[in-house]
Amino acid sequence: MELTDDDVDILRRVFRHRFVRADDLYRLYADRSPDKLSRRLMRLYRNGYLDRPIAQVDRYRAGGSQPMVYGLDSKGARLLSERFGAPVGSGDWKSRNRSYTRENLDHTLAVAGFLIGLELACRLRDDLSLIHAEEIGGAARWNVPVTWHGLSGSVQIAPDAIVGLRHRLEDGQARRSFLFVEVDRGTMTIVPVGQVREREAFLYRATILRKLLTYAESYRQGLHKEHLGIPTARVLFLTTSNGRAKSMQEAADRFIMPTGRAPPGLFLFGATESGANPLELQFLDASGSAAALIPRAVAGAER
């Protein structure tokens, strides 16, 4: 199979997000015929460049038809490595894809859907462009020394996505703002009970409160600059409902803000809305005030 530039671009986009729904690819390539794009995806799949994760079969069984999901296959990974030096690692990508559970897959698709929506929203504006994670570079995860109720430990931060916005101002300058994205599927405890919060186990049990604490400490210690070389990044929590987003905001306001570890604007909380323009959504900061993805004052002038 002789690959076109469009074929290679599709492979790069799928690699960027790990797994992508076909309908999200249709949105990204809105100027192409959906039928032709569907046939192109089928050819890439049949020739070993793309794969279909088996976990999506469970999604079909859950009820109703679902858009086909694509991931990279080993042949596509080799091509990206050889042509662009993409960090695809070693091993069989089909086997990696088969290791994904339905829950893992749904989470990955939720992250991809938000990032693709953000990219499409930026396309609608002449003054905005997206900064992808590969442009930012640096470590995708790092350890944070944390103290809590007299206890101390090291907790790893691993954002679901790291993304930036480049905002061209009227005076011709370009400013950047950055987001650490956390997608919550509604299964993680927000605030554990008091007896858990006050014990050492709190630092080693995944909860939303521990995530808030760890990001606040990373901000206070300037670790985002050390590991990523970027100015201040806000943390966006995307969850399943406005009520759950409000509960997260209240947890930050009650347990994190009084400690002085971080300003209220560090955190944003909101619900995911399929097909919505992320730039038009209103979020809550830690104080409960309305906030948008584009901050009023974006830091980090481009030079």
Q: How many other CB atoms are found less than 10 A from the CB of residue 40?
A: 19
For the residues 215-238, what does the mean pLDDT come to?
93
150 lies in the same domain as 246: yes
pLDDT value at position 150? 87
- Give residue 61's pLDDT: 52
Model confidence band, residue 297 (pLDDT cutoffs 50, 70, 90): very low
pLDDT digits (tens, 9 = 90+) for 178-221: 999 999 999 999 999 988 888 888 998 999 999 999 999 999 99
Who has greater pLDDT, 21 or 300?
Answer: 21
Examine the pLDDT at 275 and tell me if it is beyond 80: no
Same domain for 181 and 56:
no
pLDDT of residue 301: 36
Do 266 and 206 belong together in one domain?
Answer: yes
Per-residue model confidence (pLDDT) at position 151? 87
Segment 247-269 mean pLDDT: 95
Q: Where are the beta strands (DSSP E) in 45-148?
A: 50-51, 69-72, 128-131, 142-148
Q: What pLDDT score was predicted for residue 62?
A: 52
Our count of domains for the chain comes to 2
What is the per-residue pLDDT across 49-106, written as a single tens digit (0 to 9) for each?
Answer: 999 998 887 655 555 567 899 999 999 999 999 999 999 988 889 999 999 999 999 9
Residue with the bigger pLDDT between 297 and 303: it is 297
Q: Verify that 92 and 49 share a domain, yes or no.
A: yes
**The pLDDT of residue 129 is above 80:** yes
| In a domain? residue 108 | no
* Distance from C-alpha of 78 to C-alpha of 81, rounded to nearest angstrom: 5
Identify the band that residue 120 occupies on the pLDDT scale cut at 50, 70 and 90.
very high
Q: Is the pLDDT of residue 283 over 80?
A: yes
Give the pLDDT of residue 298. Answer: 39
Residue ending a domain, among 100, 117, 148, is 100
> Which residue type occupies 43?
R
C-alpha distances out from residue 229 to 48, 135, 225, Å = 37, 12, 4
Q: What is the mean pLDDT of the chain?
A: 90
Tokens 């050390």: give the residue.
226
What pLDDT score was predicted for residue 299? Answer: 37
Residue 124 has pLDDT above 60, yes or no: yes
Write the CATH number for 34.
Answer: 1.10.10
- Picking from 46, 66, 100, the residue at the C-terminal end of a domain is 100
Whole-number pLDDT of residue 302? 40
Has residue 20 got a pLDDT over 70? yes
State both tokens at 81: 């490595």
Q: Please write down the HEC assignment for all residues of 88-112.
A: CCCCCHHHHHHCCCHHHHHHHHHHH
- 112 pLDDT exceeds 90? yes
Domain hosting residue 257, numbered range: 126-291
Burial of 126 (0-12, 13-18, 19+ CB in 10 A): exposed
**Within-domain flag for 109:** no
Residue given tokens 């470590």 in the structure block: 139
Q: What is the pTM of this model?
A: 0.90
* 227 and 284 assigned to the same domain: yes
Identify which of 38-47, 145-154, 166-175 has the greatest average pLDDT.
38-47
